[in-house]
Structure 1
Amino acid sequence: MHDQNTASDSGRARVEAHSTDYIPESERHGTVWQQAPFWFMINGNVTTALTGVVGASLGLSLVWCLAAIVTGGLFGTFFTAFHAAQGPQLGLPQMIQSRVQFGSRGLVVPLAVVVFVQCGFGVFFIILGANSLSGITAPHNGFYEPLLCVVAAVIAIVGHDLVHRVQRWLSILVLVSLALVTVAVLAEVDLSGLMSAGGFQWTAFLAQFGASAAYQIALAPMVSDYTRYLPRKTGTRRVVGMVFLGSLASATWLELLGAVVTTARPGADTVSAIQHYGDSFLSGLGWITLAVTVLSMIGVLPTTFYSAAINALSAFDAFRTVRPSARSRVVVIVVLVALTYVATAAIPDHYLGSFSSFLALLSYLLIPWTAVNLVDFYLIRHSSYAIAEILAPGGGVYGRWGGRGLISYTVGLAAMVPFFSTSLYTGPLAHALDGADISPLVGLPVATLCYWLLMRGADLTAERTAIALDKDRLLTLRADASPAGSSLAQPS
């Protein structure tokens, strides 16, 4: 079998052969510190700044915006970062691991949600990237969107190592640019005056808290996609810490920047306001900021398409065995990029309201999943799984339908409904709280407790037997792999 690494020893990029399958120890590579700049870049874009305007646009003071952004970010990142250890331990993409809790076919519902979420983020990234290009050159005529899609698709097609490499190098440019524009904003605004503006409202505070938390939790379904190539011996604390540090640092920084700009220039477009402050401080800085914004979009877009393709393949594989290969991954990426572009063309220019609703949807749909997945990994099975069974047709010992996981997910989501507070629907308990949305704080413990209670009576005897045989089964399956073989087959 030929070496399957996604990059050669000399650093020359190859098209990645893996998709939904297991990454054997012989092909693991990378170091833990590389996770920090990668996850810094995931949030190192103007979309993150838009998340920080929610509270300020509702009249929340800058001090309380800071409190809501920090606490919401800590809450969301805490759960997201703990998914990082699952990659090195299991060597699998993030969502396919949830076949254990939901079953191979039961997982299709969360998978569909995640693919929608990831492509939805792609829509906003493309819009912001195109608008930034327009600010650098001239108003565009529809050319910039497909250009961004093509560049992102190529990077995603080459795969994991190139995505990491692009993000790592771009993080240096973004860090310098963010530092300069932050200095520019702070130099140009009356910070002391801004601190006294606005006030405290529970509704606005919880809206900002929920937006910041949901923005971070939205990353949870893709964490292991980018940690699964790390060696199995990678320490849990180290990888969780790097993901936590990188993701939270950029999210908090940019959301605070968005809150400051919105407080200083109410009603102004956030991107245009940032450009204005940059140019006012130093001629050409606004242009440079927009240029780096475009580059950051080129960096983050491939991550959404890469993970969405893996999740879509996982869903297809639940009903008809899909042999992991570069070809299948490429086809799905191309289809998803095309669909995302079509959706982008249908989005109106004034998208802040729809973006806020989108963040609420992320919180509602992803919190019960992350609760079930994490409690299973850390409290129920203690990171011990039969990987060959996870990938087996029909779900192996884990089955097609995971009743306990599906029930817990449904109960957690249902418990959140009375606390929903969106432009589309406001629940009765949210009305009683003056429109405050605390649904994330309800759904997480409810789904966690429900799954933990249901799993107390689970018989794991068959699974333990499969775990004992797992290492040999994986070796045998890889050795016997062929184009017509099992879903574990690796193209050579």
Structure 2
Amino acid sequence: MAQFVEPRSIDVVPDEERHGRAFGQFTLWLGANLQITAVVTGALAVVFGGDVVWSVLGLLLGNLLGGAVMALHSAQGPRLGLPQMIQSRAQFGVRGAVVPLLLVVVMYVGFFASGSVLAGQAVGELTHTDDTTGIVVFAAVTGVIATAGYRVVHALGRVASTVCALAFVFLAVRLLDRADTSALLHDAHFSLPLFLLAVSLSASWQLAFGPYVADYSRYLPRSTSAKATFWWTLSGSALGSQWSMTFGVLAAATAGEAFLDSQVGYVVGLGGTGLVASFLYFVIALGKLTVNVLNTYGGFMSLVTGVSGFRGQRRLSPAGRVAYIALVMTAGTAVALLGKDSFLSSFKDFLLFLLTFFTPWSAINLVDYYLISKERYDLAALADPHGRYGAWRFDALAVYAAGLLAQLPFLATGFYTGPLVEPLGGADVSWIVGLAVPALLYRLVARRLPPPDAPPAVPAPEPGASTSAAGPPAS
């Protein structure tokens, strides 16, 4: 009988422990995206001035473009059997990878907090308490499931994808019954800045999954098709997010202030009262639980990866696992409690802020994996600061910094607007620059690894082959 608590963290998953099918990526990412924060993200396109038609089209383009980048990361999981961010050691060095890792942890805490604000409202209604109690209860449940790990996370995704899909069909019918769809569809006035804002909102949503998406595909058998992993991940994530965001666009355009004043209250109010309302509060909490577990689990993985680069730790004890997860959970809950009254006004800037820091990382990681290393890494060297990848890769870190700086003239947020935004009509195209510039620079400067006499970069698929990469348990 499989253990309830996952025994592995950042160590390589041996072939004898691999299981599942690529289709599991579809249900996980569909469930993770059919949720209230994705609804709010779509609504922002209208809140900041867009019309329904071009907002929906812009969101679709962003979901497909950002989702394709995210799914390319997912396809790395079955091949390497490693969580996503530890692969960054091949680009930035065993210790240099701590630079993007710190930013990734900020992302996890931020998304945990934003999700907890909305889920806390639902849990508070379900338990007949208040938002603060709801946030705390929600965080505790999130921590328990994240501690259980991979199998339970995927089981939660299967349940959420089914329950939330049924609920969103019901809500869509109720919303369309209220909306004047003919008027909304005919009120279409193209504005390039607002269209690009919608693209950026959904692209940033998808790209933000990149730093942890392989965490949830790494247990798939090594023989799993990379194309299957890519397409099932992309289809689940893009379908779920576009579905939720389109609902958000229609809700914001139809309800206006009623939606802005209480996103959770408005969505539940569409369904009715009594048992139906209780069910919808449960659905909102369930959808947020799925993605918040991913954020907590990913934050735990990233913290372990960052610390182990300096400590030489390759395996984690159960007590250590609980401590790391509790740290992420506590930080996210604290931010949620402090920011719960100013959620909507700061969420757009938070999403675009994340996009600025993660597009260069995605570009460098994907160019290195697919073009430089040809999908092959020396897994043992990923744990050795004196090995093939070194402790610090200053060339890659310089490219990463250049990718960040290149975006600044094109960046438009509430706290900073670059000098080239106004000549472009107010459009924010920083994420396009953040993908293109570091991809080209890294391709030029990356040294060719491994050397000709190196051993195979991926362990052969026999039982125990990953032992040298995993190392002994930490004391």
Do both proteins adopt the same fold according to a TM-score greater than 0.5, normalized to the shorter chain? yes
What corresponds to 2:150 in structure 1?
A: 160
| Selected match of 1:390 from 338, 362, 382 | 382
In the alignment, the residues of structure 2 paired with residue 271 and residue 149 of structure 1 have an alpha-carbon distance, to the nearest angstrom, of 18
Shifted more, 288-297 versus 350-359: the winner is 288-297
* 1:234-283 deviation line (CA, Å, top 9, x unaligned): 0011011110010000100000000000011123333222222222xx87
Matched to 1:103, the amino acid is G
Matched to 1:478, the amino acid is T
What corresponds to 1:418 in structure 2?
A: 409
Whether 1:181 and 2:171 are equivalent positions in the alignment is: yes
In the alignment, the residues of structure 1 paired with residue 366 and residue 112 of structure 2 have an alpha-carbon distance, to the nearest angstrom, of 26
In the alignment, the residues of structure 2 paired with residue 145 and residue 59 of structure 1 have an alpha-carbon distance, to the nearest angstrom, of 31
What corresponds to 2:397 in structure 1?
A: 406
Length, aligned pairs only: 471
Aligned 1:102-113 pairs, distance under 5 A: 102-113=92-103
Paired residues of 1:99 and 1:395 also in contact (CA < 8 A): no
What corresponds to 2:337 in structure 1?
A: 345
* 1:110-165 deviation line (CA, Å, top 9, x unaligned): 00111110111000111111111234454516222221111111111111111111
What corresponds to 1:467 in structure 2?
A: 456
Shifted more, 139-148 versus 217-226: the winner is 139-148
Matched to 1:488, the amino acid is G
| Selected match of 2:288 from 282, 297, 301 | 297
* 1:306-352 deviation line (CA, Å, top 9, x unaligned): 11001001110111122412332221001111121111111142311
What corresponds to 1:324 in structure 2?
A: 315
State the Cα distance separating 1:475 from its structure 2 match: 4.6
In the alignment, the residues of structure 1 paired with residue 47 and residue 343 of structure 2 have an alpha-carbon distance, to the nearest angstrom, of 14
Matched to 1:276, the amino acid is G
State the Cα distance separating 1:391 from its structure 2 match: 2.1
State the Cα distance separating 1:166 from its structure 2 match: 1.4
What corresponds to 1:367 in structure 2?
A: 359
In the alignment, the residues of structure 2 paired with residue 406 and residue 474 of structure 1 have an alpha-carbon distance, to the nearest angstrom, of 36
Q: 1:390 to 1:421 in 2, by over 3 A?
A: same
Paired residues of 1:111 and 1:312 also in contact (CA < 8 A): yes
| Selected match of 1:377 from 369, 374, 377 | 369
Matched to 2:135, the amino acid is E
Unpaired segments ≥5 residues, structure 2: none
What corresponds to 1:483 in structure 2?
A: none
Matched to 2:43, the amino acid is V
Q: 1:467 to 1:260 in 2, by over 3 A?
A: same
In the alignment, the residues of structure 2 paired with residue 174 and residue 468 of structure 1 have an alpha-carbon distance, to the nearest angstrom, of 41
State the Cα distance separating 1:284 from its structure 2 match: 5.1
Matched to 1:161, the amino acid is R
Q: 1:380 to 1:323 in 2, by over 3 A?
A: closer
In the alignment, the residues of structure 1 paired with residue 406 and residue 99 of structure 2 have an alpha-carbon distance, to the nearest angstrom, of 18
Q: 1:448 to 1:136 in 2, by over 3 A?
A: same
| Selected match of 1:278 from 271, 286, 291 | 271
Q: 1:181 to 1:375 in 2, by over 3 A?
A: same
| TM-score after normalising by structure 1 | 0.91
In the alignment, the residues of structure 2 paired with residue 161 and residue 246 of structure 1 have an alpha-carbon distance, to the nearest angstrom, of 18
Matched to 1:330, the amino acid is V
State the Cα distance separating 1:399 from its structure 2 match: 0.5
Q: 1:323 to 1:53 in 2, by over 3 A?
A: same
Whether 1:202 and 2:185 are equivalent positions in the alignment is: no
